[in-house]
Amino acid sequence: MARELMKGNEAVAEAAVRAGLHAYFGYPITPQTELLEYLSRRMPELGRAFVQAESELGAINMVYGAACTGVRVMTSSSSPGISLMMEGLSYIAGTEVPMVLVDVMRGGPGLGNIAPAQSDYNQIVHGGGHGDYHAIVLAPASVQESVDLTVLAFDLAEKYRSICAVLTDGSIGQMMEPCELPEMQPLRGVSTADWAVTGMMGQRERRYLSSIYLDPPQEEQANLRMMRRWQEVEANEVRFKEYYLDDAELVVVGFGSAGRVALSAVRAARAQGIKVGLLRPVTVAPFPKQVLAELTGRVRGFLVTEMNGGQMLDDVLAVVKDHAPVEFYGRPGGIMPFPDEILAEIERMAKGPIPTEGTARDRWLARMSKMN
């Protein structure tokens, strides 16, 4: 199939359409809005459902209703809008119905700004809504990967009756790159899933879907069922990209845009003869713990780089512990690091002993205060 030059947000929208998106509900917010605009044209022309909701609260609950009928459904938003959706996301998780969520992250907290950031990591990866639940979270680093992971997101959401999030940011959403789109999948009719509420009582027993288990032992069973399902996800769905890891003495860990910038830095360092590699988690949930644990035994140290104040850092530290030194370099608040900034960190770590006193975040903050 021919490659097309597409904006990230629009490519995600078209990929979802081709993956069989039946219904989309959203609300405008920068830097995600092109996704909604694109689907406001595309969905009606295909006779599919599109509603611009009155709020993100409205949008996520429309998604909840559609998800209960078993159709392929998606919403998209950006950081402040995702915060508003947390109520609905918890209910969707508690009801065990599949949906795809696209989060085009921007600077925060609060109203923040509309520049690219990665500061929704914790609210998407570690819950955000109330209760114990996990979402599968895919983190693309290019427009092509956004397309591929959006298609995968629908399959994973259905396979595990789970929320599957595509965690991208303002830079990937807004930039144009050539990409190859998937074939158009035919739209399915009424869901045949054995849990879907489809108003088909003539052909089966009554069904209902809810997240309420008033009897605590039943709620505990529901929680355990969901956690066992998450164990399956952790066992089967970990995805990551590795670059120059075979002989690496230093390993940079970064996801999405930060991982992509880090790759440029790693290549520049390699040109200088520094033995450094990159681990870029593609699934930030489930987190690629095993490969990280294997690397921990054989490398001099890690550099975690993110466009936030060190959120994935805690997940890396949970695996590496004090078995290897971990440094952190982040640019929070809507700033993308330049490759040179990460390169400088790599060079510093390559030249001398890697500091271990205090915490990685404290050492980073101390270096940042010298910069500013």
Closest by Cα among 191, 183, 170 to 333:
170
Q: Which is nearer to another protein, 50 or 244 (CB)?
A: 50
Containing 243, the helix (H) or strand (E) segment is strand 240-243
Q: Taking the complex as a whole, how short is the minimal distance between the CB of residue 69 and another protein, in angstroms?
A: 4
Q: What are phi and psi of 180, to 5 degrees?
A: -105, 125
Q: Which is nearer to another protein, 121 or 154 (CB)?
A: 154
Provide the edge-to-edge strand list for the sheet that holds 240-243. 240-243, 276-281, 250-253, 301-306, 326-330
- Helix, strand or coil for residue 338? coil
Q: Taking the complex as a whole, how short is the minimal distance between the CB of residue 16 and another protein, in angstroms?
A: 15
Q: Which is nearer to another protein, 68 or 147 (CB)?
A: 68
Q: Taking the complex as a whole, how short is the minimal distance between the CB of residue 70 and another protein, in angstroms?
A: 8
Closest by Cα among 71, 112, 141, 111 to 284:
141
Q: Which is nearer to another protein, 73 or 295 (CB)?
A: 73
Q: Which is nearer to another protein, 131 or 355 (CB)?
A: 131
Q: Taking the complex as a whole, how short is the minimal distance between the CB of residue 160 and another protein, in angstroms?
A: 20
Residues 6+ apart with CB under 8 A from 21: 39, 43, 48, 72, 73, 74, 154
Q: Which is nearer to another protein, 61 or 119 (CB)?
A: 61
Please give the Cα distance from 17 to 10 (Å, whole number): 11
**Interface residue list for another protein (CB under 8 A):** 22-23, 25, 49, 51, 53-55, 57-59, 61-69, 71, 73, 87-88, 91, 95, 190, 197-202, 206-212
Provide the edge-to-edge strand list for the sheet that holds 163-169. 49-52, 23-26, 73-77, 99-105, 163-169, 136-138, 283-285
Q: Taking the complex as a whole, how short is the minimal distance between the CB of residue 36 and another protein, in angstroms?
A: 15
Q: Which is nearer to another protein, 25 or 328 (CB)?
A: 25
What does the buried/exposed string (b/e) look like for 167-191 if buried means 16 or more CB atoms within 10 Å of the residue's CB? bbbbbbbbeebebebeeeeeeeeeb
Q: Taking the complex as a whole, how short is the minimal distance between the CB of residue 89 and another protein, in angstroms?
A: 11
Q: Taking the complex as a whole, how short is the minimal distance between the CB of residue 22 and another protein, in angstroms?
A: 6
